[in-house]
Amino acid sequence: MNKVLDVIKSRRSIRRYLPDPLGQEELDAILEAGAYAPSAHNDQPWHFTVIRNRELIDRISRVSKERMAAQDTGWIREMGRKEDFHLFYHAPAVVVVSMRRDALSPLVDCSAAIENMLLAAESLDVGSCWIGLAGYWFSLRDEVARLGLPEGYEPCYAVALGRKGHRPSRALPRKAPPPSFID
C-alpha cells in the first residue's frame, strides 16, 4: 500500500508513553508537518508551544482535572476524579496549538495542522494523542499567561507526543456510512 495511506490507517491515539524524551529532529519534523497544513486564505493562523517541562505538563493535567471534577457531564466528572488519570498520559512532550483569533477560519486551520502532526508522528513511529480536554485549562486566563503567547492568539487544542508505551490494534472499520457518488 502507498506509504501515506498506510500511515493514515495505522495511526491510533496513544494513551501510554515511555518517559524517554523525543529527539529534537523528529519533533522539528512533526511541527514542520503541522505548518504545512492547508489554511483558509493561506492565513497559517497557528502557533505551536512545545512543553517539555514536566512540572507544567503535570500542572495542566491537575488543574484541568480539578475543573473536570466539578462538571455536570458524568463521564467528564468521573475522569476528573480518577486519581490515576493524567490528561496527557504522562507524555514527555505536549504541543499546545493556539489560533490567531482574527483569521478567517482559525479552528479548522489549526485542526488541519494537528492532523498533519499526528500523521507525521505516526510516520516516525512516535505516539500521539489529540487532547481536547486541555480546554479546561485553556479557559483560565492566568494559567494560559504561562505560555507567553503572541498577541491575538488563544489556545484551542493540545497534542501529546512521545514514544509509544503500547501498540493498539489497527483502527476498526469506520462507522460513518460509505460515501455516495454522483457521476
- Contacts with ligand FMN by CB under 6 A lie at 12-13, 15, 129-133, 171
Minimum CB separation of residue 79 from ligand FMN in Å reads 9
In 48-140, which ranges are continuous DSSP H helix?
54-68, 74-81, 106-123, 135-138
Judged by beta carbon, residue 14 or residue 22, the one nearer ligand FMN is 14
Which cell goes with 17?
A: 508513553
Residues 22 and 163: their CA atoms lie apart, in Å, by 7
Per DSSP, 20 falls in state: P
Judged by beta carbon, residue 28 or residue 107, the one nearer ligand FMN is 107
The residue of the chain with the least Cβ separation from ligand FMN equals: 132
Minimum CB separation of residue 162 from ligand FMN in Å reads 14
Judged by beta carbon, residue 23 or residue 38, the one nearer ligand FMN is 38
Minimum CB separation of residue 144 from ligand FMN in Å reads 17
